[in-house]
Structure 1
């Protein structure tokens, strides 16, 4: 384990603390699940704000358990997690974003998942993979995230478009038609550069058959498929179909509402955002699967729930995590948050099973891909961010940009 690398810029004293505490565990059986106790839980963003209500409901049927939920902002989450891990003070249960899990599993601060309690087959394959590091599961999938195509159906009619684009070639053809025939300012909104540009690129990359890392965790970002995907991505900027400069915090839904942007790739939370903020758009937009290159493949994101290796409350923590990740718990969570369930059983009833739009999300998740967990995954994807920006700004060819990224990523993978 490379603990010093894992804690980044933290002081050497914290690195030493991590060395002493990270791999220890509680050293015993801990507190029994039915004993009176308090579970500490950290969750991020909106999930952190909503989880408190679920915890209150859980306590009503588990009188011996007090669940203390601490909401953490995503902007400070990594820093707080690293500091807590270094001090041996991680909460009993912690939400792990996909880019975090490999780092903290490598530190030795996460308890391996009990696969007798949590079955891999109950979850989307990509969701389970996100919680896996070095062949072992450390996170139970909580919710999933993917991207599909949002498009203006009313403007499509003006552009002479009668159906959603099914292929990448049709996507670009439609982007051009929206501009020339429907008078939109842009054809497709995709990110030109900056932090996490790679998330905008994933549908192009994966649909072309490319990847950042192969299944063995080796750099693969300059493959012929990846180069083809980045050439396609860059062509939108070269043809003035996508905006080359997008300000920080840009909200695509505003331009989608005005019609300046007729198409974009987005996540499930945007559905309710559009409905709530722009009721006048009702009936004027729809979602569709990612247009296919070799296949229709989108990114898989989301979060897992992990138990601290040092927790004295592992038994109770496991039961709480089970309540959040079984089909019933995930159906409830969807109703509260619109987060897509990672447990496929939750999709078999209610709105998730009957709503045509939800079926598109479900189908997209069946083929969605995630990047294998790595301790330095955030740093790895930042190299791809840089490569993409160099192409969208016309500073490099796709091949040269990805060759450079490949050489940099080679030194980061483990």
Structure 2
């Protein structure tokens, strides 16, 4: 999962990639890991810039291997990967956002993970499962994120509440108490529509016991889906959440001024709040998502993949293994604040001593993967549309769930 919106797929490009994949091989003979060679690596966003320094550290211990890192903006990452795959010019190693995995694995351009080199038990289960397509893992988890609840503790105390909401009933009660007793304008921020509204809704759905895919088919008209849509709708019907949000809305700004005392988001907000709302020090906290049948969020993040056509698979595998080691991942956290996918890294004092991070480890242990599917962009857009229809009063939860189910039926293969 990445933080910026992915660019739209180009159907012609995908057809081209599929055709090339069908007739392409694995490239030439693989170069031994200890031979002099250059690895090409693409990494996205800030990670691409930071990885340049890590690659230099890696070369000190592996002088025969030059790692050439190319930073790629998330706004162009998808199209750049599609174009390179079509041209047969993917780099040896790539950072792969979790919602890209199913698409590129299905195109046949990724090398399966060497499970003799990488053990899935080293990683959070949900982060590993997000890389599995038809029983085969194609990516090694690099860093993780998940959604938790951020809330203003000072305003909660003013409203007479001294602990985080543990379930849906308490979440709704706190939203109401904020407005009535702490005089906040809103009780919570939830995304009512637009791209990636599913990210706010999915913790409700998973916590209600829902599954996006069941027995190889969408399961979006289940009782859990209806229940989660109904619960989500109540926040808008009761006036706890805004029914209209402008593109680029900065929830942290309103969190800082107190007009929005709760929201769901990922780990990057810890640094964002500290840097941009320093007056909130000691006045906020993060908690696991409130429970229904469970307290389950979804797992996002990025993984590392190797091109099927790479002629440097041995060296690429060694470099990915280095980036996946617990000590390297703890160091990576210090450089980027990206949360480690390797569970052992969380015992490192660089993370274990940070109170703000404990909730994310707890939530990752209670998280589910977003299924790796080729048509995720279209699939998730149908969920976004259903959420909008419910929050805007255009459809009942039952009607929206039924429409989601029918419109996604042909997208799962």
Deviation of 1:8 (Å): 5.0
Deviation string, structure 1 residues 21-73 (Cα, Å, up to 9, x no partner): 56634344411111111111111122122211111211222111111111111
Deviation of 1:222 (Å): 1.1
The alpha-carbon distance between structure 1 residues 188 and 337, as it changes in their structure 2 partners (threshold 3 A), is same
Contact 2:300–2:370, Cα closer than 8 Å, also in 1: no
Contact 1:18–1:85, Cα closer than 8 Å, also in 2: no
Whole-angstrom distance in 2 between the partners of 1:16 and 1:193: 33
2:14 is aligned with 1:9: no
Deviation of 1:10 (Å): 4.9
Once the two structures are superposed, the pairs formed by residues 45-194 of structure 1 within 5 Å of their partners are 45-194=45-194
Deviation of 1:204 (Å): 0.8
Whole-angstrom distance in 1 between the partners of 2:18 and 2:411: 21
Contact 2:27–2:310, Cα closer than 8 Å, also in 1: no
Once the two structures are superposed, the pairs formed by residues 266-285 of structure 1 within 5 Å of their partners are 266-285=265-284
Question: What corresponds to 1:252 in structure 2?
Answer: 251
Contact 1:149–1:266, Cα closer than 8 Å, also in 2: yes
Deviation string, structure 1 residues 147-199 (Cα, Å, up to 9, x no partner): 11111111111111111101111000000000011011110111010001000
Deviation of 1:356 (Å): 3.1
2:232 is aligned with 1:233: yes
2:290 is aligned with 1:291: yes
2:39 is aligned with 1:39: yes
Question: What corresponds to 1:335 in structure 2?
Answer: 334
Contact 1:192–1:392, Cα closer than 8 Å, also in 2: yes
The two structures have a TM-score, normalised by structure 1, of 0.95
Question: What corresponds to 2:219 in structure 1?
Answer: 220
Deviation of 1:11 (Å): 3.9
Deviation of 1:289 (Å): 0.9
Contact 1:18–1:88, Cα closer than 8 Å, also in 2: no
Deviation of 1:119 (Å): 0.4
Question: What corresponds to 2:5 in structure 1?
Answer: none
C-alpha RMSD over aligned residues: 1.5
The alpha-carbon distance between structure 1 residues 23 and 144, as it changes in their structure 2 partners (threshold 3 A), is farther
Deviation of 1:273 (Å): 1.0
2:411 is aligned with 1:412: yes
The alpha-carbon distance between structure 1 residues 335 and 217, as it changes in their structure 2 partners (threshold 3 A), is farther
Contact 2:17–2:82, Cα closer than 8 Å, also in 1: no
Tell me, which stretches of 5 or more residues in structure 1 are unaligned? Answer: 1-6
Deviation of 1:352 (Å): 2.3
Question: What corresponds to 2:381 in structure 1?
Answer: 382
The two structures have a TM-score, normalised by structure 2, of 0.95
Deviation string, structure 1 residues 289-345 (Cα, Å, up to 9, x no partner): 111111111111011100000001111110110011121111111111111111111
Whole-angstrom distance in 2 between the partners of 1:325 and 1:397: 45
3-state SS, counterpart of residue 369 of structure 1: strand
2:209 is aligned with 1:200: no
Whole-angstrom distance in 1 between the partners of 2:270 and 2:9: 37
Deviation string, structure 1 residues 103-139 (Cα, Å, up to 9, x no partner): 1111100000000000011101100011111110000
Aligned length: 406
3-state SS, counterpart of residue 304 of structure 1: strand
Whole-angstrom distance in 2 between the partners of 1:378 and 1:308: 22
Whole-angstrom distance in 2 between the partners of 1:252 and 1:173: 21
Contact 1:23–1:108, Cα closer than 8 Å, also in 2: no
Deviation string, structure 1 residues 198-237 (Cα, Å, up to 9, x no partner): 00111111111112222x4320011101110110001101
Question: What corresponds to 2:324 in structure 1?
Answer: 325
The alpha-carbon distance between structure 1 residues 110 and 237, as it changes in their structure 2 partners (threshold 3 A), is same
